[in-house]
Amino acid sequence: MLLGFSLFIFRKCSFTMAYLYSGHLSCTFRKSPSFFHQGAALLPKGRAYSKDVDLSQYLHKSIVPTMHYQKSLPRLPIPKLEDTVRRYLAAQKPLLNDEQYSKTEKLTRDFQSGVGKELHEELLDQDKRNRHTSYISGPWFDMYLSAREPVILNFNPFISFNPDPKPEQNEQLLRASNLVCSAIRFMKTLRAGYLEPEVFHLNPAKSDTEGFKKLIRWLPPSLSWYGAYAVNAYPLDMSQYFRLFNSTRVPRRGCDELFTDENGHHLLVMRKGNMYVFDVLDRNGNMVKPAEIQAHLRHILSDSTPAPAFPLGFLTSENRDVWAGLRERLLEAGNGEVLRLVDSAIFCLCLDDEAMRDHVHTSHNMLHGDGCNRWFDKSFSIIVTKHGLAGINFEHSWGDGVAVLRFLNEVFKDTTQSPLLLPSDSPVPADSVSAVRRIEFNLDGPLQNGIQEARERFEATVSQLTIGAMEFRGGGKEALKGNKLSPDAVAQLAFQMAFLRQYGQTVATYESCSTAAFRHGRTETVRPTSVHTQRCARAFVQEPGQHSAEALRAMLGICSRYHSQLTREAAMGQGFDRHLFALRYLASTKGLPLPTLYLDPAYATINHNILSTSTLTSPAVSLGGFAPVVPDGFGVGYGVHDEWIGCNVSSYPARDVHEFLQCIHKSLEDIFSTLEGRPFS
């Protein structure tokens, strides 16, 4: 395992520090006010459990129904406009010179007292009329589904599983079969209302007990959150979970749509660019025998059908409007029924023939692969390589990383602790010839040309991406906590120091913080670049020997405390990014001229996130990653472990990822040397 990082997924919440960090990007849905009502209809409400339930179909049977807390979750607050202005200007300070800052400050104050005040009041009124959701949910869905850039590299991240600790379980067919079975068990557990609610326990000795759960389940859903809060337990929003399965992002001109059809009983499998489907649920909704699933996958792995000349998967890597036009042509050519099979499949399993050489090769494969053996529009795809390395690539528009990480953790636990299939099991005869269907498409000349052009663009794009990895073994979380420093704050400071050392600049930095503690919360941004990190980075990088160890440690403490404050505020919905975004979105929907605040070059600069960062550690996760969000940026995945720190970083040609990693390592060496009282140069 290299990183134990995970990516865009879960960002530290105020009371969920070191757990809740959620992806660097989220995506969106059409602004239908009924969207979350639809979601509620698809997720189970509280129910009485039958004693004769076949528990082999489920991961577990929670005492507390899955959605028990959803109705009483607190609403995401809209920050005060004066607080947003103050935080925005504080974040701009290290990025601007005095003249630029004075101009930005005036524009911001004018906004606060003028059109911004009017928009803010209207946003508050709108929020009061839509108490079933959050003020950011609809605009956030709209923004990302309206994006026309390809989902590949721009939005889809990956997370890779750790290997099964039992080496014999990592054989490709066996691991793929167990992953499918555990994924289906997770889905059935979720839909039955048996999945343990997502709760962060500050005092698990009180709240994470059978006695408390038996008590809280009898509290009405409209009050249950308050009961949990009383014992320092914080339930999290689970409204996105239903989009995990039977879901696909469907390209449409101008704005995509999210499609979900829970009637689908089949799995989509891809190998060599060929697409197959077979049922993993029977007519009663029960999972078919694991041995049958294994037999069907064995049949697919042994299929000698060559790779198609025009693999359709490349189309999902296209510009969304281009893909929408080609999809319309696919429908006109009589491919509606097979596209429906793809869209409604429970999820996609990608069986790769290639063996991974190292962590960098794994990152490239899980993030984009060869484009031939992927359907990037599915809510998620499980990828299993030739030697059993496994990972998840997920489409980001339907939600944030909360649901994906929970799924990944549960599936890893189930496959490693309670696998349904073992190496010693004898193959079971199954009629895979009739059960497994290889999907074929009718492709005319223009469609073939479209696929070829998509392939060429895909290959040109991914060829520009460089990924590098680094491990720092000189210390980790335990040493930092022992010095009363936030591990995340120190990692972020190291990135600032590294960029300053390499490029001599202080730049906009993005760290996404989950607001899943609120109903239909999404994310808020932590802005790690501050006047404090700027001062500290300069002291370490540009002024070595000019400050005492005591002074440097004091600067580290200030950076740590300020970063922790920013993280707490963001987790409580008290950042500035989402508020300003919502005000801009409101002005746009009303047809108003764009307020001058948003025309200020400084606003564009702070949103040109050269350092896009994301972190997560989990026993199930080996590494994860994503591409930079701007052409001249870095995509920084990192994990701070007890005794070490790992980074998985991507860049395009405008930046040198390998030198940047060297600079991060040097920055961490200098910080830990200072903490240990050793000189550095």
- Residue 532 annotated among the catalytic residues of the structure: no
Distance CA 384, CA 373 (A): 11
Distance CA 59, CA 329 (A): 42
Could you say which of 68, 296, 396, 532 is catalytic? Answer: 396
How far from the centroid of its chain's Cα atoms is residue 472's Cα?
24
Of the candidates 34, 29, 39, 241, which has an alpha carbon nearest to the alpha carbon of residue 139?
29
Q: Do residues 184 and 287 touch, judged by C-beta distance below 8 A?
A: yes
The structure tokens listed for 397 are 């528009």
* Count, residues in the chain: 681
The structure tokens listed for 455 are 């392939």
Distance CA 366, CA 373 (A): 11
Q: Do residues 70 and 221 touch, judged by C-beta distance below 8 A?
A: yes
User: Is beta strand 611-615 parallel, antiparallel or unpaired with respect to 509-514?
Assistant: parallel
Q: Do residues 6 and 405 touch, judged by C-beta distance below 8 A?
A: yes
Of the candidates 509, 526, 530, which has an alpha carbon nearest to the alpha carbon of residue 573?
526
User: Among the residues of 93-199, which ranges form H helices?
Assistant: 98-113, 115-129, 137-145, 172-192
Taking residue 521's Cβ as centre, other Cβ atoms within 10 Å add up to 28
Tell me the residue type at 1: M
Distance CA 653, CA 657 (A): 9
Of the candidates 401, 364, 360, which has an alpha carbon nearest to the alpha carbon of residue 380?
401
- Supply φ then ψ for residue 131, to 5 degrees: -70, -10
In 3-state terms, what secondary structure has residue 390?
strand
User: Is beta strand 621-625 parallel, antiparallel or unpaired with respect to 523-526?
Assistant: unpaired
Measuring CA to CA, how many Å separate 129 from each of 33, 75, 126, 133, 660?
A: 11, 13, 5, 10, 48
Distance CA 130, CA 110 (A): 29
Q: Do residues 13 and 513 touch, judged by C-beta distance below 8 A?
A: yes
Q: Which residues contact 483 (CB under 8 A, 6 or more apart)?
A: 553, 556, 675
The structure tokens listed for 193 are 């209302």
Residue that is written with structure tokens 């109903």 in the block: 519
Taking residue 110's Cβ as centre, other Cβ atoms within 10 Å add up to 14
Q: Which residues contact 294 (CB under 8 A, 6 or more apart)?
A: 173, 174, 177, 421, 427, 428
Of the candidates 426, 423, 428, which has an alpha carbon nearest to the alpha carbon of residue 164?
423
Tell me the residue type at 612: S
User: Among the residues of 463-576, which ranges form H helices?
Assistant: 477-482, 487-503, 531-541, 549-571
Distance CA 468, CA 167 (A): 27
Of the candidates 30, 42, 37, which has an alpha carbon nearest to the alpha carbon of residue 263?
42
Tell me the residue type at 527: R
Distance CA 450, CA 464 (A): 22
> Which helix (H) or strand (E) element contains residue 613?
strand 611-615
The structure tokens listed for 85 are 């202005």
The structure tokens listed for 49 are 């459990």
The catalytic residues are 396
